[in-house]
Amino acid sequence: MAEIIEMPKLSDTMTMGTLVNWLVKEGDSVSAGTMLAEVETDKATMEVENFEDGVVLKLYAKEGDSVAIGEPICAIGEKGESAPDVGGGKSADTPPAKAEKKEEAKKDDDAKAKDAPKSEEKEAGKAGGEKPAKTDAKDEIPVEEKKTDDSSKEDGDERIRISPLARKMAEEKSLDISAIKGTGPGGRIVKDDVLAAEKAPKPAPAKESAPAAPLSAADLLEEKTLPVTNMRAAIARALVSSKTEAPHFYLQTEVDGAPIAELRKALNDRLADLPPEQGGVKFTVNDLILKAAAEAVRRVPAINRSWKGDTIVQHGSVHLAFGVAVDDGLLTPVIRDAQSKSLRTIGSEAKELIKKARGKKLKPDEMSNSTLTVTNLGMFGITDFYGIINPPNAAILSVGATVKTPVVDDKGQITVGYRMKVGLSGDHRVIDGAVGAQYLAALREILETPALMLV
């Protein structure tokens, strides 16, 4: 008997998944362990695994469809077996489409029956005689009259073949569905057709008298409405919750960036050109900052806490999250037990997690249960900013660019210096300003004397 594969719950907060890409097609032979599809959750893109040997009988969902947890996405069975009728499937030629046809036919029949007496009365009036006996509407209305220009726009829309999701999207975007070309079976309009119609250039209204004005730079900008992805929606929910529930306070310190830059240069000059088997590695400024952030927690462990409502938990390990910018937002992979890892290990893990994040391959457990977060915008030239706390952390560090600036040295002389600003956003329910200040002071000392993080 065929097995229905349903949309799995791939993260704790997931309620819907977007089917990004099918890795199989109908008719393919599959075995246990075969990856069937890539699904975008609220956190990352993950693969759906098959657990039965057989043949792909039916794909119920199309690429780009949003599917609720538990909804069928495909059927696996024996070769030649018929695919089950799932009713709620997403396939364009499954029962929902048939139901629409029946509903449309019923509405046509109701309209015919309603119009039939009027036609009889009109003919009777012309003849001046008695009203003819009521007959079947099908006999009275010629076929040509079934699609007349007198039908209302609403009735006309109802006869257009369009999926319920596509109709809803078109209404929300104020699109005329009669002008949308359907690419589904039988010319049915589906979600992708609505998105394509939205992106299509709109004809400019004709102007009879005014001469055409030359295009300005502003005219070349594209106006568009973007759908909210699962990831963007999850980011929005988490940050709104953090900003409204956690009373943020903000601190900032200025760090001499020269020592850490010199250490990085010295390490890379010695190690960057070596092959990996001989210890070759190339460090980034962010690697050194992550290591320093974990080391500073050893000195001020109170920063490593979480609010639990009726208790405050002080964590025994530093699970260090850091921000990675991706096309649709920001992901925060986590380096576990960072306080006990070497600079080399932290750098290696950070590179692997960044690669996974940009490829949308991070697993939920690689992005959860952090205790402290670092976000760095220095590579974009941003000198100072404050991040929004990443729940359930008590604080987030925000690191700016190292800039060349005039400074007063120990001898009172003005000289060229390299300064980096580090901000801290703290949750006042968990920590106070003194704890945040102590942590920033410890971090500054480590960054300005980076040899401390190597012992």
Other C-beta atoms within 10 Å of 104: how many? 15
Note if 319 is an active site residue: no
Residue 195: other Cβ atoms inside 10 A: 16
Residue 83 in tokens: 């695919």
What residues contact 227, with CB distance under 8 A and at least 6 apart?
195
Helix axes 433-448, 258-271, angle to 10 degrees: 50
Contact between residue 400 and residue 421 where contact means Cβ atoms under 8 Å apart: yes
Q: Where are the alpha helices (DSSP H) in 128-190?
A: 137-140, 153-158, 164-172
Exactly one of 248, 315, 319, 428 is catalytic; name it.
428
Q: Among candidates 379, 408, 160, 386, which has minimal Cα distance to 285?
A: 379
Amino acid at 75: A
82 to 56, 59, 75: CA distances (angstroms) = 11, 12, 10
CA neighbor of 341 nearest in space, from 333, 350, 352: 350
User: Do the strands 35-40 and 45-49 form a parallel or antiparallel pair, or are they unpaired?
Assistant: antiparallel
Q: Which two tokens stand for residue 229?
A: 């992805």
Residues 6 or more apart in contact with residue 6 via CB below 8 angstroms: 69, 70, 71, 72, 73
Long-range CB contact pairs, 175-182, < 8 A, 24+: none
Residue 105 tokens read as 């036919």
What Å distances lie between residue 17 and 70, 171, 278, CA to CA? 10, 23, 44
450 in Cβ contact with 259 (< 8 Å): yes
- The end-to-end CA distance of the chain, in Å, is 63
The string over 241-266, giving b where at least 16 C-beta atoms fall within 10 Å of a residue's C-beta and e elsewhere, is ebeeebebbebebebbbbbbbebbee
Residues involved in catalysis: 428
